[in-house]
Structure 1
Amino acid sequence: MTYLELGQAVRELRLQQKVSQQQMADHLAISRTTLNAFELGRSGDVGLRKVMKMLDYLGSEISLREKSPFPTFEELRDGR
């Protein structure tokens, strides 16, 4: 997953839950501008802790898996 894809995934989760950028930013004590830039893949200053806080707020998490030479179902579905 690229940085841009991660930001887009956070945005999709946020919109599915009908949470505004301002609500989420206020709850996480980050600026709305930072959240917006992250969702658009324009901010390189969002660290892993902030990303994990965003995902936790949205009820998701990052999971690691062993690298495989075979594509995942999601990669096949998305045509990657």
Structure 2
Amino acid sequence: MKNLALALIAATAFVATPALAQPIVLTDTAGTGPVIIRGSRVISDVKPIDMNLTPVPGSRYAYTNDAGQIVIQASRFNSINVTKN
């Protein structure tokens, strides 16, 4: 899970303002995949166990929840690409 968190911290540097929106590229090293939310909707196959979110240090868009899942808050302007490592 820590490897995924580190990959997400690096990946969130690609997230920009709507006028400059770029794809969010994530590498899933844990094999579980992140929870991805857009607004109040879950758009990923992975569903959150809980939504008590704590920000990932150094990231504006990545969070963890009490269950240890990674949660990404994406804007409607970002495309998201998750690759498995």
Which of the pair is proportionally richer in strand? 2
Which of the pair is proportionally richer in helix? 1
- Which has more radius of gyration? 1
- Please report the TM-score for the alignment, with normalisation by the length of structure 1: 0.30
- Please report the TM-score for the alignment, with normalisation by the length of structure 2: 0.29
- Higher RCO by CA contacts (8 Å cutoff, separation 6 or greater): 2
